[in-house]
Amino acid sequence: MKFSLMLVPLLVLVFCACTGIQSDISQPILFSTNTQGVVPTNKPSDTPTLPASPVLTASATPTPFPDYFSRSYSLSNIEYVIPLTVRHVTEQSATLFFEISKPSAGLLIVRSIDPQKPLQKEIILPENQTRHMITLDNLLPDNHYQVIILLGERESVYKEAVFNGKAWGVVNFHTASNEKPIKVGVLGDASFGDDATKDLIELMASQNLDFVINTGDIVYEVDRVDLINSYALKFFEPFSLLLHQYPVYTVLGNHDYDAAVEWQGEPFYHYAFPAFADQNFGYPESRIGNQYYAFAYQDIQFLMLDSQVLFGEEGRADQEAWMKERLADTRYRITIPICHVAPFSSSAVHPNDSLPVRYSWTPIFEAGNVPVVFSGHFHHYERLFVNGITYIVTGGGSSTLYAQGSQLPESQIYARRTHFVLMEIFEDQIKIRAISKEGEIIDETSIRLP
């Protein structure tokens, strides 16, 4: 069952009875990584530290759930530095992240909106923290949840943190299911926050997706004096409809390494999209922040790669060794890599950029069970077929588009159109549709699976 935004009444049940979890908080259902200290209005806080787990409040006797979600709250003078988003979901967990401008008492409230599987949890936020990475465990598979952050010391004075002058509001998410097809929205180079991107996001948000993939160059042409505002205007605000419904998994692009987006000597990307814990995967100690990572959905493994290591950034050898290890993992039926710079492109603009990726990584992809590779960097749509693998270039996430140059013999279609890609993964095939911001299907194909 896919996601629905319709609210439904909650049944009055005890938290422990709903979940089967003991009320003893020595068996925590969530963990939080936060950054201590007060954050200036235009600067993020310093290096994250690991505090004690927040406290779960649960009654030992039947009491009604307070209806936090249907009320209106006044706005706090505390702002979101990074608004509440869902970083990752599994069948039984969800990892949430946000940062506020000043430490504050408050609650994170999560509830199920399925009347057959009612649940509500209240998590007390540590009062001395600003940066919160919270993993909710013991959730139900294929279930819909809502989350809200309320700041204040008691119910009568709860307020909502402000983002870009208004409340960020309720965030929804859906735990992973075993149903097919898996529906994924993919776009890239949506880095200007222009109207074309907003049209794409509105269309994508209506597709009843499981999650979203961004192929890099998250924010470009920034105000380096105020990176937070640049990210607010060019990513969080335009992507709001998606961020309120789905995890958005990102990779680093070349412009995400620009000096203009550096914070404390590293890309601001690492600050905005911190690494989330996932016990299924390990990483070399040399990995910087969230430089590259993997996540799984059902029996499919997604590799989120940093292609800038092929252009002088650190970590190439360790990442490639990790890639080979991941592709050899027999737990997953297929692997889908995502990187920013495409290994093949017929673009007239910087066409030779693809060569390092082509010569270094396509042999690695071909040695694994890889049916399709997604990339961006080149601002167009293109589908190519090389040595049994379909390569999708999806860099048309804005109105800034590249003309076609010399068409590669492996290219099957080139379109200079603002678009996103809808990928549907079935048991026996992957269906791919490139869709313009006007809703027109630009390209459609299917890939047979073993």
Whether residue 210 is predicted with pLDDT greater than 90 in this model: the reply is yes
How many Cα atoms occupy the beta-carbon half-sphere of 192 within 13 Å? 14
The pLDDT assigned to 15 comes to 35
Q: Among 18-22, 147-151, 416-420, 444-448, which is the least confidently predicted range? A: 18-22
Q: Could you read off the pLDDT of 389-407 as tens digits, one per residue?
A: 999 999 999 999 999 999 9
The pLDDT assigned to 170 comes to 97
**More confidently predicted of 213 and 260:** 213
Whether residue 53 is predicted with pLDDT greater than 50 in this model: the reply is no
Distance between CA atoms of residues 423 and 433, nearest Å: 7
CA dihedral 104, 174, 210, 213 (to 10 degrees): 10
| Domains of the chain with bracketed CATH | 15-174 (2.60.40.10), 182-448 (3.60.21.10)
Whether residue 43 is predicted with pLDDT greater than 80 in this model: the reply is no
3-class SS of residue 251: coil
The pLDDT assigned to 4 comes to 40
Structure-token match 């540590």, residue found: 126
The pLDDT assigned to 64 comes to 63
The pLDDT assigned to 412 comes to 98
3-class SS of residue 375: strand
Distance between CA atoms of residues 313 and 145, nearest Å: 39
The pLDDT assigned to 224 comes to 67
How many helices (H) does the chain have, and how many strands (E)? 7, 26
- At 190, list the tokens: 């949506």
Whether residue 257 is predicted with pLDDT greater than 60 in this model: the reply is yes
